[in-house]
């Protein structure tokens, strides 16, 4: 395995209320905590000769800033914008600025839910979207980025 400092860095961004995973609506979002999801991403990244940096915020502007700070620093983005998926032009614009392969992840299948969840401001600018595979979706996204960036 290559030295980890040379491994391509992937930013993983989690939007609002995802800090409550584990207890939040488990019928939609499963029982894994965000900490457990992040730990599994770090383990998987090492297997794939990638590095991950994880970030969660309940604030739109903080998410925009985390993406802006990653410009020139990361080779790929995994983002679950959570409720901001359906509202945020600002996060969409930040993803366009970052301009790296991007996988949009949703734990639940947003297309099987309320009509307002079926619109994504990210989907048409993302490389791909994974929706409805639970926490495994993040790991599949990382595998996809390993193919795309290495």
Query: Which residues have a catalytic role annotated?
Result: 29, 106
Question: Of the ranges 44-52, 55-63, 68-76, 100-108, which one interacts with ligand DQA (CB under 6 A)?
Answer: 100-108
Q: With binding defined as CB under 6 A, does residue 85 bind ligand DQA? A: yes
Please check whether residue 83 is in contact with residue 109, taking contact to mean a CB–CB distance below 8 angstroms. Answer: no
What backbone torsions phi and psi does residue 11 show, to the nearest 5 degrees? -90, 130
Distance separating alpha carbons of residues 138 and 70, to the nearest angstrom: 19
Question: Of the ranges 61-69, 76-84, 95-103, 122-130, which one interacts with ligand DQA (CB under 6 A)?
Answer: 76-84
| Ordered alpha helix ranges (H), 48-132 | 60-69, 89-98
Q: With binding defined as CB under 6 A, does residue 82 bind ligand DQA? A: yes
Beta bridge partners of 12: 54, 78
Minimum distance of ligand DQA from residue 112's CB (angstroms): 10
Residues 16-35 that bind ligand DQA (CB under 6 A): 17
């Amino acid at each position: 395995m290559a030295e980890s400092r040379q491994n391509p860095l992937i930013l993983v961004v989690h939007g609002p209320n995802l800090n409550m995973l584990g207890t939040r609506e488990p019928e939609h979002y499963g029982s894994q905590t965000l900490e457990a999801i992040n730990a599994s991403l770090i383990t998987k990244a090492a297997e794939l000769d990638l590095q991950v940096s994880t970030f969660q915020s309940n604030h739109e502007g903080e998410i925009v800033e985390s993406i802006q700070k990653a410009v020139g620093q990361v080779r790929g983005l995994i983002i679950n914008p959570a409720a901001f998926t359906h509202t945020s032009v600002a996060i969409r614009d930040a993803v366009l600025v970052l301009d790296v392969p991007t996988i949009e992840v949703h734990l639940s299948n947003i297309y099987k839910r309320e009509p307002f969840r079926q619109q994504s401001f990210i989907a048409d600018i993302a490389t791909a979207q994974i929706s409805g595979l639970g926490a495994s979706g993040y790991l599949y996204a990382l595998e996809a980025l390993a193919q795309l960036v290495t």
